[in-house]
Amino acid sequence: MTIRAAIVGPTGYTGLFLTELLLRHPGAALTYLASRREPPVDLRDEFPRLHGRLDDELAVSRPIDPQAIAAAADVAFLCLPHKAAMEHTPALLDAGLRVIDLSADYRLRDADVYERVYDTPHEDADRLGEAVYGLPELFRDQIRGAQLVANPGCYPTAAALAVAPLIHAGLVSADRVIVNAASGVTGAGRKEKAHLHFPEQSQAYMAYGAIGGHRHQPEIEQTLEHAAGRPVPVLFVPHLLPIDRGILETIYLDPTPGVDEARLMEAYHRAYADEPFVRVKRDPPNVKHVVDTNCCDLSVRLTGPADRPTVVAFAAEDNMIKGASGQAIQNMNLMFGLDETAGLR
């Protein structure tokens, strides 16, 4: 049996990567492209790399019609902006589709936090309780049975995988987590902007946004609170790299007394021994080695003076794959009982 997949809002970068992953997937097929755009858009014109790889009927977008989508597909990937996603989710679920939402709309369990962070009312708050946060390494069992999966943000995926096991094992303090993060430019979306014009962004490197005010900070805090059993304040400082894809997070933590480097590494090895997509490494990871894979590479060090050591954890991933579209496929595989790694090797 082949899982039939629809993409709703396919004209951004997550839509492109989902399309390419589905084209390669041995157990799933892309069957419907739904877009709000009028006139309809031929995805091959948007992304010339898809020429010859999508047939004529599929390539042209159709309306976001839940009944029509449900007739053609088993699962809908939502690649819409936040706010637009929650406008369409209820009807897609009602039509019988399972939904994997790549926006932020169902990630935060607390509607008040959502409304503060995204500065807009949550129009489907009742459903927050049933949405499952789609980070398989932490929530695999819930994902299997979910109708609605909130696919995690790119930065939060890496941060959660790096920090949760250390906090959970009590090896680091939950009082402060500093996440110094750097991302490739696809993370900023496909819409051109003055500061992302090639001659401005080439050979550039900077922090961006309100320092300590990025929307992914509360999402990281939510997952770490789940691991710690109590609130974990995160200081998140994102930077923009002059590359297309890839995230590296360098994370500074305070060890609990008596912790040594071996125990930190052991916590990673124990947490991820059977995980197909988390790789624990001796050396600090390099975004180059994870790009175009669904892997998140981790490493951890204990350093600094003996009387005030610091834990430095590293996490690298492809923001478009493990940080978005690849993880969405991993979630689909789990939801439909496929091999979790299908199409992601």
Interface mask toward its own copies for 315-344; x: CB under 8 A: -x----------------------------
Contact 290, 296 (CB under 8 A): yes
Contact 311, 253 (CB under 8 A): yes
- Minimum CB separation of residue 143 from its own copies in Å reads 21
Three-state SS at 62: strand
Say whether residue 83 binds its own copies (CB under 8 A): no
- Minimum CB separation of residue 214 from its own copies in Å reads 11
Three-state SS at 88: helix
The rounded Cα 86 to chain-centroid distance in angstroms is 17
- Minimum CB separation of residue 218 from its own copies in Å reads 12
Say whether residue 258 binds its own copies (CB under 8 A): no
Give residue 126's identity as a one-letter amino acid code: D
What's the rounded Cα separation, in Å, for the pair 170 and 148?
32
Q: Given the complex with its own copies, which of 63 and 189 has the nearer CB atom? A: 189
Say whether residue 55 binds its own copies (CB under 8 A): no
What is the CA angle 275-151-138, rounded to 5? Answer: 35
Alpha carbon separation from 335 to 17, 70, 98, 223 (Å, rounded)? 20, 16, 9, 21
What is the CA angle 83-4-154, rounded to 5? Answer: 40
Strands 206-207 and 234-240 come out as antiparallel
Q: Is 79 a catalytic residue?
A: no
- Minimum CB separation of residue 73 from its own copies in Å reads 20
The rounded Cα 186 to chain-centroid distance in angstroms is 13
Single out the segment in contact with its own copies by CB under 8 A; choices: 51-59, 74-82, 146-154, 155-163. Answer: 51-59
Phi, psi (deg, nearest 5) at residue 9: 85, 60
Q: Given the complex with its own copies, which of 48 and 258 has the nearer CB atom? A: 48
- Minimum CB separation of residue 241 from its own copies in Å reads 6
Which position among 141, 235, 269, 337 is part of the footprint of its own copies (CB under 8 A)? 235
Single out the segment in contact with its own copies by CB under 8 A; choices: 67-75, 163-171, 208-216, 328-336. Answer: 208-216
Contact 187, 269 (CB under 8 A): no
Which position among 233, 269, 337, 339 is part of the footprint of its own copies (CB under 8 A)? 233
Which position among 2, 26, 116, 339 is part of the footprint of its own copies (CB under 8 A)? 26
What's the rounded Cα separation, in Å, for the pair 175 and 192?
39
Residues 268-297 that bind its own copies (CB under 8 A): 276-277, 279, 281, 283-293, 295, 297
Say whether residue 237 binds its own copies (CB under 8 A): yes
- Residue 187's nearest CA partner among 131, 135, 233, 248 is 248
Strand partners, 143: none
Which position among 79, 245, 315, 323 is part of the footprint of its own copies (CB under 8 A)? 245
Residues 130-159 that bind its own copies (CB under 8 A): none
- Minimum CB separation of residue 2 from its own copies in Å reads 13
Residues 175-194 that bind its own copies (CB under 8 A): 175-176, 178, 180, 182, 184-186, 190-194
Say whether residue 345 binds its own copies (CB under 8 A): yes
What's the rounded Cα separation, in Å, for the pair 217 and 92?
29
Say whether residue 90 binds its own copies (CB under 8 A): no
By CB under 8 A, the count of residues binding its own copies is 79
Both tokens of 217, joined, read 């900070």
Catalytic annotation, residues: 154
